[in-house]
Amino acid sequence: MVDRLLVFIARHARFIPETLVRCLFLLAADISWLLGIGGVRQLERNLDRVLSVRHDGDRVSRRVLRGVSLRAMRSYFVYFSEAMTVGARTKDELMARVRAEGPGLADLVSYTHEHGGSAPLALGHQGNWDYAGFWAYYTLSPVTTVAERLANQEVLDAFIRIRERLGMRILLTGQPGLTDRLRRELSRPHVLVPLLADRDLSRHGEFVRAFGSTIRVARGPATLALDTRLPLYVANLYRERLDRPRRRAAKTSHGYVCVITGPIPIDDFVALPREEAIHAISQAWVDAWSVAIVEHPEDWHMLQPIFLEDLDPDRLHYTPTPSHDDK
C-alpha cells in the first residue's frame, strides 16, 4: 500500500500540491514516532550515542531524546515528500533550496572546475542527498552514484527516474564489477562520485571509531580514493529556514546546507598495507563527517543498526574486539 502510494505521487507530482504531500508525510512521521514503529527505536538508540557526545559524555534525558527523534523522523519523511514531488520542481526552485559552505568547498570547486578533476565523495543519510546530487551536477561536475537495490521494482524505478531527472547517473548495489565501474568513471575527467557510506549494505563493512563507540561503514569511498589516488571529500547536509528572497524562489520555507570538508590527502596513506590504508582513510572521513552529525543530529536519518553493540555478529564477516572505550 505504501509503495503504491509513493509511486502514484511520483508519477502525478505535477498535479498534487507539494504542501499537501508534505503535510501527509509529516502526519505519517508523527504517527510512526508516537507508535514507535518504522525504525524509531533504533533511531533513538543511534541518536542517544550522538547526543551523549554533544553533551560531553553525559546521557540526555528521555524527553530530550524523544524531542530530537521526533525532529529526525519529520526530517526523514520530509525528504521522502520532496523526493516524490521533485518532478514538479523547476531548476530554479531546486537551486534555491540548496546552498553550500564549508572549509573544503573552495578547494572542491577549484579542483573540479579549474582543473577538470574527478573525485569520490563520502556522505551519510542526512538531509536530502538527492537535492545535494542535483546541486553538485549543476555546480561542480557530472555525478555518478550508487542506489540501493530495493525489493519493490516499481519503487526502485521511481527513485531511479527521480535521480536521473536530477542529472545523476545511477548504478545499483549488487551489480557485478560495481567497484570497477566506479573506478572507470573516476578515470575520466570532471566526474564526481558521491557515495552514501555511513551504513554498509554488505557483510564486509569497515569498523571505525565514531561517537565514542564503533560503527560499520561502507568501504567504497576509501577503496576508490586509494585505488585512483584521487582526493576524497566529505559532505554533510542539514535543513535550514530560508530567508524571504530564497523562500520566494524555492516556493518553500526550508532548504538545505551542504557542508563540504576535505580533501583527505590520500598520498599520506599509500605506503600502508592495503587493508590498513582502507581502514585509515575510512577513519579519516568518518572523523570529519561525524563532527557535523553531532552538530545537526536531527537531520541524520539512521533508522538501522550501525553501532557494533547493535549488530548481529552471526551476520558479519568479522567482528572487532571492543576496546575499553566501547564497553
Residue 108 and residue 232 in contact, taking contact as beta carbons nearer than 8 Å: no
What are the distances in angstroms from CA 194 to CA 92, 133, 153, 221, 302?
23, 8, 23, 8, 18
Which string of DSSP letters, residue by residue, matches 66-87?
HHHHHHHHHHHHHHHHHHHTGG
**What is the pairing mode between strands 206-210 and 192-196?**
unpaired
CB atoms within 10 A of CB 274: 12
Of 117, 112, 145, nearest in space to 228 by CA: 117
* The pLDDT value given to residue 324: 46
Q: Note the pTM of the prediction, 2 decimals.
A: 0.93
Task: Please give the Cα distance from 213 to 227 (Å, whole number).
Answer: 28
Helical H runs in 99-152? 105-109, 129-139
* The pLDDT value given to residue 321: 59
CA angle 164, 75, 286 (to 5 degrees): 75
Task: Please give the Cα distance from 70 to 76 (Å, whole number).
Answer: 10
Cα of first residue to Cα of last residue in the chain, in angstroms, is 42
8's enclosing H/E stretch is helix 2-11
* The pLDDT value given to residue 327: 41
Q: How many Å separate Cα 162 from the centre of its chain?
A: 16
Task: Kindly give, in sequence order, each residue whose CB lies less than 8 Å from that of residue 157, ignoring residues fewer than 6 positions away.
Answer: none
Complete domains list, the chain, with CATH: 92-326 (3.40.1130)
Which string of DSSP letters, residue by residue, matches 13-75?
GGGS-HHHHHHHHHHHHHHHHHHT-TTHHHHHHHHHHHHHHHTTTPPPPHHHHHHHHHHHHHH
What are the distances in angstroms from CA 191 to CA 91, 117, 147, 198, 326?
21, 7, 17, 22, 39
CB atoms within 10 A of CB 12: 13
* The pLDDT value given to residue 313: 72
Output the tens digit of pLDDT for each of the chain's 327 residues.
678 888 899 888 999 999 999 999 999 999 999 999 989 999 999 999 999 998 888 889 999 999 999 999 999 999 999 999 998 999 999 999 999 999 999 999 999 988 899 999 999 999 999 999 999 999 999 999 999 888 889 989 988 988 998 899 999 988 889 999 999 999 999 999 999 999 986 778 999 999 999 999 999 999 999 999 999 999 999 999 999 999 999 999 999 999 999 999 999 999 999 999 999 999 999 999 999 999 999 999 999 999 999 987 766 666 675 554 554
